[in-house]
Structure 1
Amino acid sequence: MDEKDILARIDAFVGEERRLRERYQRDELDREEEHRRLERLEVALDQCWDLLRRRRARLEAGEDPGGAEVRPPDEVEGYLQ
């Protein structure tokens, strides 16, 4: 997966998040169902952003960006910000 693919995934996830929130506001979704899907989207977005940052860091360091892999959710979600 290259940077373009990662950015396309981020864009797709953000679009889905917006659609879910709009449907939620119109009471078209079960609140519990929407909450679970939004949590999964947030994790997926965090994984994508983490991968993108690590690929760019590797590139800046003169390393192959392709060596960066998606980290597991528990690792990405455990970061302090």
Structure 2
Amino acid sequence: MEDRQDADQEILDNITSLVSEERELRDRSTRKLGLDDAERARLKAVEIQLDQCWDLLRQRRAKSEFGEDPGEARVRPASEVENYKS
């Protein structure tokens, strides 16, 4: 069994980094020039990665809460996490 806190912190660090990048891209998108095609594609990729990271963290926490190994949680495909309803 892996060290849960270290793994969760790694996911949270990744989320923090992605949120920073997302904010930077969104800030650029509001300027008069907007985003180019590559930046728009990167923004979409960042949004998907964030959804996957949050989903993975939720899976890990649920497994831990119910006495299961959080290390068994896996990143789900974008097509799956993108279709969740809030």
- State whether TM-score is above 0.5: yes
1:57 pairs with one of 53, 56, 62: 62
TM-score by length of 1: 0.86
Q: Please report how far the alpha carbon of residue 68 of structure 1 lies from its aligned counterpart in structure 2 after TM superposition.
A: 0.2
Q: Please report how far the alpha carbon of residue 18 of structure 1 lies from its aligned counterpart in structure 2 after TM superposition.
A: 1.3
**RMSD (CA atoms):** 1.7
The equivalences for 1:2-81 within 5 A come to: 2-26=7-31, 27=33, 29-30=35-36, 32-81=37-86
Give me the whole-angstrom Cα distance separating, in 1, the residues matched to 2:79 and 2:40.
18
Structure 1: gaps (5+ residues)? none
SS in 2 for 1:51: helix
Give me the whole-angstrom Cα distance separating, in 2, the residues matched to 1:29 and 1:35.
6
Note closer, same or farther for the CA distance 1:28–1:39 as it changes in structure 2 (3 Å cut).
Answer: closer
Structure 2: gaps (5+ residues)? 1-5
Structure 1 stretches of 4+ moved >6 Å: none
TM-score by length of 2: 0.81
Q: Please report how far the alpha carbon of residue 36 of structure 1 lies from its aligned counterpart in structure 2 after TM superposition.
A: 1.3
How many residues are matched? Answer: 80
User: What are the superposed Cα offsets for residues 30-57 of structure 1, whole Å, 9 maximum, x if unpaired?
Assistant: 2x32221111111000000000001000
Give me the whole-angstrom Cα distance separating, in 2, the residues matched to 1:52 and 1:29.
30
Q: Please report how far the alpha carbon of residue 6 of structure 1 lies from its aligned counterpart in structure 2 after TM superposition.
A: 0.4
- Give the percent of matched residue pairs that are identical in Structure 1 and Structure 2: 54
